Chains A and B, each alone.
Chain A
């Protein structure tokens, strides 16, 4: 079958299967098997079928677009890295845009069309889409299976000890089916976001992902902390989405299209999508202010031209002649920056970047599989994915903002993770920090590096979360100080989690081989390093933060591992009751551990590798560095530059040494206990308190936003109660009085008259009743007497003269 037909079909099916499962569970719900068990099978079956379809799509993609051998320095060997600059020089300077791996864009269904506003369900499929599909469905499948073990309590009535009703644990019905229902919706939303072919669809699924995370974070809705966390996640995301809406308006208002890719309309003409407007063939795929934005910014001038010109054609010609000049003057540049910043704002909310990172740690209130899903495959991945997807739109200035936001985020979150004692919170801040890495990489021109880390991180972070879920399941507590020595009790969990810790720390033999995190983190650092060549000031900050972050990452991850699994048990009671988790939970752990180790490796005897696959999806025109359209004179280095030996080697060594330092420190403090971490916290009480309270962000926001908002709300509530309510009460009282008067009139005048009359007639009837005795002879008497009476009257009063 033609690739352009089969791929959308496969991915469309893979996308819709979870929706079918969701709809069925909504309809049948608890009636599916005992306690809704069938819902779990249905949802898992749907997502595994999606995985199979995605894998088929991947195979199809790879057979049609074979990955070329890694000719410019993959990280596999130092020899390759050394050869990189030579190959680079041999390549033609311009990218080959009409490459075989051109994305497939099109529409499945047009929802509506109002003039130029066209809303459609479309697809934009390139290697990134296919890879995301495989990653999301794979991780979601593991989580679905894992949840069978983790959520089995929900099959029966649940006693939730975290909520007390009249001093006793809350008793409620199990919600097994509801959990899977939300999981299905979540998978569907994320896949829809990935496959989306236009910005409108992206926004719809963006919000769907948001609502799903809200529903799942607040899964234990009776716990106040859970419902608060759900609200927080949703509201904080709302702040980001506001910016995103502005960005989308800027894009649509000036470009007149939502679509990413080009589209042939009914007349057969090519309607350029967003990407080809921003980076058109005429400008050799480098970023220019698109004509639509220039015209939008110069609309006053265009109006003047139209007013003075002889006819429309002449005016249009004059406008066309003026366009280059306007573009030179910077018309529409601001619009492009606003569009970029706005969209990034949405991504800041969704991917929990500073300053909107506060929701993610609270999102730990949800069940652990949900945390894994949110942190690895769906919610937070959405923001990074969107930055990667709309990468061609961002100007260098916007990229610098992205880089700074990522840099600040990675550093803040990493430092907070050091002092957290809740096992899930450590992982949560670790996620925030790693997302900061991704944003930093994207912001310094490392499109591949950022998305590469997105993929590797997805695997090891879902592994770590599921592992922590296994620990929580066994011990019944989240607090690491109550654990310890669990490796003996739950070896599978311990060793798979160790693999995850090594992967996230970027363990490996420098320049030779390593776990997945080694490759992605190295490529990020290398990109930052090559950025430093152009901008030493920004570059040094980024590099220091990234390298320091790598050390801190290794430190807090091994701190987590040592505190949980190594040493002596700190709480005998909990230790006694701990046990290895059931097979449904261990198998996904092993699968994810396998991928966490190997996902960045080249498949043996082929050219297939994750980085090669992603490289196919690189937006046209972003392979080379760029410096155009920057108000701050920012130059983005080409990503290939980072493969050069003089960059690659020192960076690899730095990353390795940084990770080693973190690892050594963690081992000293928590593994061998030669250093006492408590002493450090006593020595620097202010630093400890500062980190322990998460840089006071929650308190700051409480003071800055939440407090004033509540106060204003109080005022308005007061105004409502005292002013408006009282006025309305008065009106109501007046109305009551008037109606009371009406009531009196009605009752005494109208009703009284009618009732009196009726009473009279009733009395008359009662009186007359006495004459109807039923006695025939009496009736005859009445007739006779009446007749006689009539005759008497007639004879007395009849006027004979009239009768004639």
Chain B
């Protein structure tokens, strides 16, 4: 299967692999980083991994163009996600600053106020 990908011309599957790698890296970063900024970076990676999938599926060029496309839906959703990611980053950074204010560190393990 891997060999197939290497030998074939670049298509949707390649993008999916890259997207999956990005997603998993992001998820792992979120799960393992104790630094809040690192967690945020992980989130960005996850979002962009998903974005890559949207773009790949929405591209008529990659899908060979002949089978008819799904229009610009994929691209549009990717744009939305980018905007959302920007907004989310702003909020998240504000939270991180606040966190730092309260704990004098950005180590997420130091905070467990949300414990039920």
A residues within 8 Å of B by Cβ? Answer: 768-769, 771-777, 780-781, 783-784
Contact = CB atoms under 8 A, between A and B. Distances in A.
Contacts of B45: none
Interface stretch (B29-37, B72-80, B82-90): B29-37
A774 B112 contact: yes
Contacts of B30: 777, 780
Contacts of B115: 772-775
Contact of B112 (A768, A769, A773, A783): A773
B12 interface: no
13 contacts: A772-B116, A774-B113, A774-B115, A775-B109, A775-B112, A775-B115, A776-B39, A776-B108, A777-B32, A777-B39, A777-B109, A780-B39, A781-B31
Nearest to B32: A777
Size band of the interface chain B makes with A? 10 to 19
Contacts of B42: 780
Interface in B34-60: 34, 39, 42
Contacts of B112: 773-775
A777 B116 contact: no
Interface in B1-44: 27, 30-34, 39, 42
B114 to A, nearest CB: 4
B69 interface: no
A645 B113 CA distance: 126
Contacts of A771: 116
A770 to B, nearest CB: 8
Given A771-B116, A774-B115, A775-B109, 18 more contacts: A772-B116, A773-B112, A773-B115, A774-B112, A774-B113, A775-B112, A775-B115, A776-B108, A777-B30, A777-B31, A777-B32, A777-B33, A777-B39, A780-B31, A780-B39, A780-B42, A784-B27, A784-B31
A769 B114 CA distance: 11
B111 interface: yes
Contacts of B113: 774
Nearest to A770: B116
A100 B23 CA distance: 128
Nearest to A784: B27
Contacts of B32: 777
B41 to A, nearest CB: 13
A777 to B, nearest CB: 6
B5 to A, nearest CB: 20
A66 to B, nearest CB: 110
Contacts of B108: 775-777
Contacts, number: 39
Nearest to B36: A776
Q: Which 6 A-B pairs have the closest CB atoms?
A: A774-B112, A774-B115, A772-B116, A774-B114, A780-B30, A776-B108
Nearest to B34: A777
A772 B114 contact: yes
B114 A780 contact: no
Contacts of A772: 114-116
A775 B31 CA distance: 10
Contacts of B111: 774, 776
Contacts of A773: 112, 115
A768 B113 CA distance: 17
A468 B102 CA distance: 98
Nearest to B116: A772
Residue among A769, A772, A780, A781 with the highest chain B CB neighbour number at 10 A: A780
B97 to A, nearest CB: 16
A780 B116 contact: no
Contacts of A776: 39, 108-109, 111
Q: Which of A771, A773, A774 has the most CB of B within 10 A?
A: A774
A780 B27 contact: yes
A784 B27 CA distance: 7
A761 to B, nearest CB: 15
Contacts of B114: 772, 774
A793 B61 CA distance: 33
A774 B103 CA distance: 15
B116 A769 contact: yes
A783 B115 CA distance: 17
Contacts of A781: 31
Contacts of A784: 27, 31
Nearest to A781: B31
Contacts of B31: 777, 780-781, 784
Contacts of A780: 27, 30-31, 39, 42
A786 to B, nearest CB: 12
A781 B30 CA distance: 8
A780 B30 CA distance: 7
Nearest to A769: B116
Contacts of A774: 111-116
A775 B112 CA distance: 6
A278 B83 CA distance: 113
A377 to B, nearest CB: 91
Contacts of B39: 776-777, 780
A497 to B, nearest CB: 100
B34 to A, nearest CB: 7
Contacts of A768: 116
Nearest to B29: A780
A780 B116 CA distance: 17
A469 to B, nearest CB: 90
A776 B112 CA distance: 8
Contacts of A769: 116
B26 to A, nearest CB: 10
A718 B57 CA distance: 102
Nearest to B108: A776
A773 B115 CA distance: 5
Most buried by A among B30, B31, B33, B111: B31
B53 to A, nearest CB: 14
B91 to A, nearest CB: 15
A351 to B, nearest CB: 93
A635 B109 CA distance: 127
A776 B110 CA distance: 10
A771 B109 CA distance: 16
A788 to B, nearest CB: 10
Contacts of B27: 780, 783-784
A774 B116 CA distance: 7
A163 to B, nearest CB: 74
A773 B27 CA distance: 19
A59 B108 CA distance: 111
Nearest to B114: A774
A526 to B, nearest CB: 115
A769 B27 CA distance: 24
Nearest to B33: A777
A620 B10 CA distance: 142
Nearest to B111: A774
Nearest to A766: B116
B82 to A, nearest CB: 22
Contacts of B116: 768-769, 771-772, 774
A772 B113 CA distance: 10
A771 B108 CA distance: 17
Contacts of B33: 777
Residue of B33, B34, B109, B116 with most chain A CB atoms under a 10 A cut-off: B116
A783 B111 CA distance: 19
A790 to B, nearest CB: 14
